[in-house]
């Protein structure tokens, strides 16, 4: 018997609907579990005291500091490099073999999994350049890892700036760099910021690339050459070695909440930009 | 009377497509020179040569000579920044930069290195006055230029160009998107400005050309068909095409 | 003068990405290739015994395992992701899209360690209790990875579906086709290459995933014979042993990295090539 196309249509509509909400449901469930299991153990003490006894007791303060240092320094290096690359690709060249090669490099870098960044950082920064497990080695590895995201989002943001603004700027006697600095970058800034924040989110949640470069010392990193531990690495060790389920959930909650809020803010900024241009 | 701009055998190609064909003319100081002609006849191309803005287009070839104050800007190595300070442009659609009224006008002077707030203020005020916009803007200097009406925006663009202290002002159909009242304000401003500047006004509104220009040129399919004192062009056109155009038979 | 300086500085910035890529290749290959020479390509790629401190560097089971979890992830995440993308582009209203799309993209922000942890705590026992075996298994890993590749599959398929011109849909609807017939016969085929690319990029994501896999795969050094067997992937092999390996053992991990790098580059190349053919 042939089923009527109309009935199929209704059936498909309902099942796709369920499918989409099921997927969002996964996100909701993940966040809910982490929240329910983690929130009882979170208090000010947990945040401002450093881990003791491998993290079995105490809080996560030194790992928060480690995360912030790693992320800020990486962003500090990757942003000029990434935005500069995007400016070069969009403003200073016409599409050519040369730009294709650079784009190929960026795309390839974007596809490399974190563990290979970890492997590379371990052999190059930690071993060959003798940095040891250190904040510096972690920062340099993370910088390379987040660079493609910053380049891509900056390029999109710069391309969205209307050509007419550039023409006006030139006609008012600005040079190319003056135009980039005074007209293009300010207009593209929110889009660039979105990319930077998405990269922050990625770096905060990263483990594989960081554990083999920055190491996992629980002491507070006080110099670039000190090893240190980020929240994500701390959570991984707590969970994998079964050190403390309570502290693992609590760490996961802080980790997930910070990443989600960074990402939500990023999407918020992006949406405002989209509605501004359309 | 001394020519400010002299154009000799000017030809322009986009790829293989020739859009200006052997243009010869001289443009006088302290006058408004009108350029009219149907869409696609090469008017915009012509004026964008005068401040080297055409070079932003791909695949363009320029032949011939264009002298400004005796210097051939096509064949000699002129400084584009200097040239664009000397030859200012107002585009058809007002394009304010996304910043305040004050900063829009101060954009050019700041690039010149002027930082002093009082000096900038003087320039902004003068420029706005010349563009007949000061009264409306004097209390709104810090509002975003994007919030102004279309007519105000276009006068702002004129003021912004004047702030460069140019000698020549190019206007490419500056009133095409404006209502009659805004248009009249711009025309008044231009008639006032010609005492100090050399003005070239592109317009496909023949009445406007007749109203405010001293000399006028008629472009048609890349050719300069007719050029002379506006009164003569409009009363005794030498060419049948010109007559048809100004009487509204095509265009 | 300043303009030139800026231009060349920006050019140097742009070249830095290429330079980093080059460095990564050089250093991973430099460390990884000597062992291929010493132990033999065949011994490493096809050998089934990994005992690096005793001179056995076979990673065949890991290669197989990496592909198995990747296909497992694709079987789970592919159809699910595509359905979501179709729902988003064809069925959902504007406001629904404004809510769903960011929500789905947030899934990408959840760190892999969190996925792995929840996998250990919830999925592994579930698999053990309902299907048997140790729970740490190909099945658990595929489930976790299937969810992890969803954001990639959804966002790239969605873009591909959205770029199908409206006129195609209108033409088909005008001929009397129902909405689903239109999607099935016109829209999806037109977006085929983009959808394919999204699957391949999703595979790239899955095959490169490390921390989540370590936690739920069981890391056994055997080729899995059923979906309930534990396994060890190329990525886990590196991450499990890198911290303490030395000498030939460490070189063996870099050889594992070389194999992974080559697989990833091939997948990326196919995906980018696929997208270009589509647009
Ligand atoms: N960037 C360009 N590339 C190719 N052709 C162009 C370009 N700009 C203008 N043209 C062509 O040159 C001719 C003259 O254009 P334009 O100077 O803009 O005419 P007008 O301003 O009189 O309407 C037209 O045929 C137009 O299509
Ligand atoms: Mg024009």
Looking at the complex, report in whole angstroms how far the Cα of residue A225 sits from the nearest Cα belonging to chain B. Answer: 44
Question: What would the mean pLDDT of A143-149 be, rounded to a whole number?
Answer: 96
Instruction: Report pTM.
Output: 0.90
Q: Is residue B251 part of a domain?
A: no
Q: What is the mean pLDDT of chain C?
A: 90
Cβ atoms of B31 and B54 within 8 Å: the answer is: no
Q: Which percentage of chain B shows pLDDT scores above 90?
A: 71
Domain extent for A84 = 42-277
Q: Please state the domain count of chain B.
A: 1
Question: Per residue in A52-93, pLDDT tens?
Answer: 888 788 878 989 999 999 999 999 999 999 999 999 999 998
- Which band of pLDDT confidence, cut at 50, 70 and 90, is reported for residue C122? very high
Q: Would you say residue B225 has pLDDT above 90?
A: yes
Question: What would the mean pLDDT of C256-264 be, rounded to a whole number?
Answer: 95
Tokens of A183: 């007209």
Pick from A268-272, B109-113, C151-155: least confident: A268-272
pLDDT of residue B21: 93
Which residue, judged by its Cα, is nearest atom 5 of ligand 1? B14
Residues of A in contact with B82 (CB under 8 A): 173
Give the distance, in angstroms, between the CA of residue B211 and the centroid of all CA atoms in the same chain.
17
Question: Closest Cα partner for A263 from C96, C211, C157, C110?
Answer: C110
Q: Ligand 1 pocket test: which of B13, B19, B55 has the largest number of ligand atoms within 8 Å of its C-beta?
A: B19
CATH number of the domain that residue A55 is part of:
1.10.3720.10
Q: Is residue A19 part of a domain?
A: no
Q: Is residue A68 part of a domain?
A: yes
Cβ atoms of B143 and B152 within 8 Å: the answer is: no
Residue A24 has its nearest CB partner, among C23, C104, C264, at C104
- Which band of pLDDT confidence, cut at 50, 70 and 90, is reported for residue A42? confident
Question: What would the mean pLDDT of A96-115 be, rounded to a whole number?
Answer: 92
Helices first, then strands: H and E counts in chain A: 12, 2
User: Looking at chain B, which runs of residues are DSSP E strands?
Assistant: 3-14, 17-28, 32-36, 60-68, 71-72, 87-90, 168-172, 198-202, 215-220, 223-229
Tokens of C176: 């009397």
Q: Is residue A247 part of a domain?
A: yes
- Which band of pLDDT confidence, cut at 50, 70 and 90, is reported for residue B1? low
Q: Which percentage of chain A shows pLDDT scores above 90?
A: 66
CA distance C279 to C272: 11
Q: Would you say residue B58 has pLDDT above 90?
A: no
Contact A173 B56 (CB under 8 A): no
Looking at the complex, report in whole angstroms how far the Cα of residue A229 sits from the nearest Cα belonging to chain B. Answer: 44
CA distance B51 to B73: 9
Residue A85 has its nearest CB partner, among C14, C254, C267, at C14
Cβ atoms of A31 and C107 within 8 Å: the answer is: no
Helices B150-162 and B180-193 meet at what angle, rounded to 10? 10
Tokens of B207: 């009445």
User: Which residue, among B59, B81, B90, would best test binding to A if mutated, counting the most A CBs under 10 Å from its CB?
Assistant: B81
Domain extent for B194 = 3-246
Q: Is residue B139 part of a domain?
A: yes
Q: Would you say residue C279 has pLDDT above 50?
A: no
- Which band of pLDDT confidence, cut at 50, 70 and 90, is reported for residue A272? confident
Q: Please state the domain count of chain C.
A: 1
Q: Is residue B220 part of a domain?
A: yes
Q: Is residue A24 part of a domain?
A: no
Runs of H (alpha helix) within B40-133: 43-50, 80-86, 101-111, 117-130
Q: Is residue A192 part of a domain?
A: yes
For residues A174 and A270, the model is more confident at A174
pLDDT of residue A125: 96
Q: Ligand 1 pocket test: which of B34, B36, B40 has the largest number of ligand atoms within 8 Å of its C-beta?
A: B40
Is C268 within 8 Å of chain A by CB? Answer: yes
Residue A171 has its nearest CB partner, among B51, B82, B112, at B51
**Contact residues for B19 (Cβ-Cβ < 8 A; gap 6+):** B12, B13, B42, B45, B222
CATH number of the domain that residue B175 is part of:
3.40.50.300
pLDDT of residue C42: 87
- Which band of pLDDT confidence, cut at 50, 70 and 90, is reported for residue C108? confident
Tokens of B112: 């010149």
pLDDT of residue C271: 82
Q: Can you tell me which atom of ligand 1 is nearest the CA of B173?
A: 21
Question: Per residue in B127-166, pLDDT tens?
Answer: 999 988 999 998 999 999 999 998 899 999 999 999 999 9
Which residue, judged by its Cα, is nearest atom 8 of ligand 1? B45
- Cα distance from N-terminal residue to C-terminal residue, chain A: 50
Which residues 185-214 of A are in CB contact (within 8 Å) with B?
Answer: 186-187
Task: Tally C-beta pairs within 8 A across A and B.
Answer: 51
Cβ atoms of C231 and C198 within 8 Å: the answer is: no
Question: Per residue in B3-23, pLDDT tens?
Answer: 889 999 999 999 999 999 999
Contact A17 C91 (CB under 8 A): yes
> Which protein residues are within 6 Å of ligand 1, measured from CB?
B 14, 19, 37, 39-45, 57
In angstroms, what is the span from residue A184 Cα to ligand 1's centroid? 26
Q: Is residue B209 part of a domain?
A: yes
**Contact residues for B65 (Cβ-Cβ < 8 A; gap 6+):** B6, B7, B8, B9, B10, B72, B74, B75
CA distance B28 to B169: 12
User: Which residue, among B78, B89, B104, would best test binding to A if mutated, counting the most A CBs under 10 Å from its CB?
Assistant: B89
Q: Would you say residue C61 has pLDDT above 80?
A: yes
Q: What is the mean pLDDT of chain A?
A: 90
CA distance C250 to C242: 7
Q: Is residue C232 part of a domain?
A: yes
Q: Would you say residue A1 has pLDDT above 60?
A: no
In angstroms, what is the span from residue A28 Cα to ligand 2's centroid? 56
Tokens of A173: 């006697």
Side-chain-side CA neighbours of C259 within 13 Å: the count stands at 28
**Contact residues for B195 (Cβ-Cβ < 8 A; gap 6+):** B30
For residues A276 and A171, the model is more confident at A171
Tokens of B37: 């002609």
Pick from A219-223, A266-270, C196-200: least confident: A266-270
Q: DSSP letter for A226, please.
A: S
CA distance B163 to B185: 19
Q: Would you say residue C21 has pLDDT above 90?
A: yes
Which residue, judged by its Cα, is nearest atom 12 of ligand 1? B19
Q: Which percentage of chain C shows pLDDT scores above 70?
A: 97
pLDDT of residue C278: 46
Residues on B contacting A at a C-beta cutoff of 8 Å: 51, 53, 56, 58, 81-82, 84-85, 88-89, 91, 93, 95, 97-98, 107-108, 111-112, 160-161, 164
Which residues 93-122 of A are in CB contact (within 8 Å) with B?
Answer: 94
**Which ligand has the minimum distance to the alpha carbon of residue B60?**
1
Tokens of C67: 């592909």
Cβ atoms of C231 and C218 within 8 Å: the answer is: yes
Question: Per residue in C66-94, pLDDT tens?
Answer: 999 999 999 999 999 999 999 999 998 88
Looking at the complex, report in whole angstroms how far the Cα of residue C92 sits from the nearest Cα belonging to chain A. Answer: 8
Q: Is residue C144 part of a domain?
A: yes
CA distance A235 to A66: 13
Residues of C in contact with A102 (CB under 8 A): 14-15, 17-18
Domain extent for C117 = 61-278
CA distance C32 to C19: 19
Q: Would you say residue C184 has pLDDT above 50?
A: yes
Q: Would you say residue A136 has pLDDT above 50?
A: yes
CATH number of the domain that residue C103 is part of:
1.10.3720.10
Contact B56 A171 (CB under 8 A): no
pLDDT of residue C172: 87
Q: DSSP letter for C122, please.
A: I
């Amino acid at each position: 018997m042939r089923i009527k196309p109309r009935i199929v249509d209704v059936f498909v509509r309902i099942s796709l609907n369920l499918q989409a909400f099921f997927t969002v449901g996964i996100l909701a469930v993940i966040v809910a579990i982490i929240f329910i299991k983690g929130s009882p153990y979170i208090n000010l003490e947990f945040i401002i005291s450093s881990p003791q006894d491998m993290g079995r007791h105490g809080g996560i303060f030194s790992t928060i500091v480690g995360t912030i240092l790693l992320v800020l320094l990486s962003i500090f290096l990757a942003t000029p490099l990434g935005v500069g690359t995007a400016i070069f690709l969009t403003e200073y060249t016409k599409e050519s073999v040369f730009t294709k090669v650079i784009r190929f490099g960026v795309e390839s870098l974007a596809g490399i999994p974190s563990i290979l960044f970890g492997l590379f950082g371990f052999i190059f920064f930690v071993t060959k350049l003798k940095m040891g497990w250190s904040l510096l080695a972690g920062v340099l590895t993370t910088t390379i890892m987040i660079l493609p995201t910053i380049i891509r989002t900056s390029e999109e943001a710069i391309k969205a700036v209307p050509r007419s603004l550039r023409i006006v700027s030139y006609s008012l006697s600005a040079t190319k760099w003056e135009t980039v600095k005074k007209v293009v970058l300010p207009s593209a800034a929110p889009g660039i910021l979105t990319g930077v924040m998405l990269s922050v989110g990625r770096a905060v949640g990263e483990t594989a690339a960081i554990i083999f470069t920055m190491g996992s010392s629980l002491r507070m990193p006080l110099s670039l050459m000190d090893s240190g531990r980020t929240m994500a690495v701390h959570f991984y060790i707590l969970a994998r070695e079964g050190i403390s389920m309570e502290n693992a959930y609590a760490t996961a909650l802080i980790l997930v909440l910070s990443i989600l809020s960074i990402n939500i803010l990023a999407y918020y900024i992006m949406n405002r930009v989209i509605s501004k241009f359309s | 009377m001394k020519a400010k701009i002299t154009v000799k055998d000017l030809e322009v190609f986009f790829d293989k497509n020739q859009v200006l064909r052997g243009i010869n003319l001289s443009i006088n100081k302290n006058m408004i020179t009108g350029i009219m002609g149907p869409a696609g006849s090469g008017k915009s191309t012509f004026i964008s040569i005068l401040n080297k803005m055409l070079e932003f287009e791909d695949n363009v070839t320029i032949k011939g000579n264009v002298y400004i104050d005796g210097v051939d800007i096509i064949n000699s190595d002129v400084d584009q920044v200097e040239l664009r300070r000397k030859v200012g442009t107002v585009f058809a659609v007002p394009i304010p930069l996304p910043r305040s009224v004050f900063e829009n006008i101060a954009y050019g002077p700041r690039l010149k290195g002027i930082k002093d707030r009082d000096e900038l203020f003087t320039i902004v005020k003068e420029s706005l006055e010349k563009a007949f916009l000061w009264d409306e803007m004097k209390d709104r200097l810090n509002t975003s230029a994007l919030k102004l009406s279309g007519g105000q925006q276009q006068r702002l663009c004129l003021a912004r160009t004047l702030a460069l202290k140019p000698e020549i002002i190019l206007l490419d159909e500056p009133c095409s998107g404006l209502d009659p009242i805004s248009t009249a304000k711009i025309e008044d401003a231009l008639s006032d400005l010609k005492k100090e500047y050399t003005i070239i006004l592109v317009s496909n509104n023949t009445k406007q050309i007749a109203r405010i220009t001293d000399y006028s040129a008629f472009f048609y399919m890349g050719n300069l068909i007719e050029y002379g004192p506006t009164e003569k062009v409009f009363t005794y056109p030498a060419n049948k095409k010109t007559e048809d155009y100004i009487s509204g038979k095509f265009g | 003068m300043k303009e030139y300086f800026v231009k060349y500085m920006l050019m140097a910035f742009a070249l830095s990405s290429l330079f980093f890529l080059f460095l990564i290749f050089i250093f991973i290959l430099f460390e990884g290739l000597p062992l291929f020479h010493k132990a033999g390509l065949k011994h490493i790629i096809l050998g089934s015994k990994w005992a690096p401190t005793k001179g056995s560097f076979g990673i065949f089971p890991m290669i197989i395992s990496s592909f198995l979890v990747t296909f497992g992830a694709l079987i789970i995440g592919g159809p699910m992701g595509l359905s979501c993308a179709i729902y988003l582009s064809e069925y959902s209203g504007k406001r629904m899209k404004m809510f769903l799309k960011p929500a789905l993209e947030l899934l990408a922000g959840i760190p892999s360690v969190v996925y792995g942890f929840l996998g250990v705590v919830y999925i592994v026992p579930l698999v053990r209790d309902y299907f048997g075996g140790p729970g740490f298994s190909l099945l658990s890993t595929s489930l976790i990875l299937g969810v992890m590749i969803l954001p990639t599959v959804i966002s790239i398929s969605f873009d591909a579906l959205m770029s199908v011109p409206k006129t195609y849909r209108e033409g088909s609807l005008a001929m009397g086709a129902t909405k689903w017939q239109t999607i099935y016969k016109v829209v999806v085929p037109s977006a085929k290459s983009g959808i394919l690319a999204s699957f391949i990029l999703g595979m790239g994501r899955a095959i490169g995933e490390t921390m989540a896999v370590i936690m739920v795969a069981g890391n056994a050094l055997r080729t899995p014979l059923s979906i309930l067997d534990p396994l060890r992937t190329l990525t886990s092999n590196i991450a499990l042993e890198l911290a303490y390996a030395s000498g030939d053992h460490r070189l063996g991990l870099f050889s594992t990295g070389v194999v992974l790098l080559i697989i990833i580059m091939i997948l990326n190349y196919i995906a980018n090539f696929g997208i270009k053919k589509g647009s």
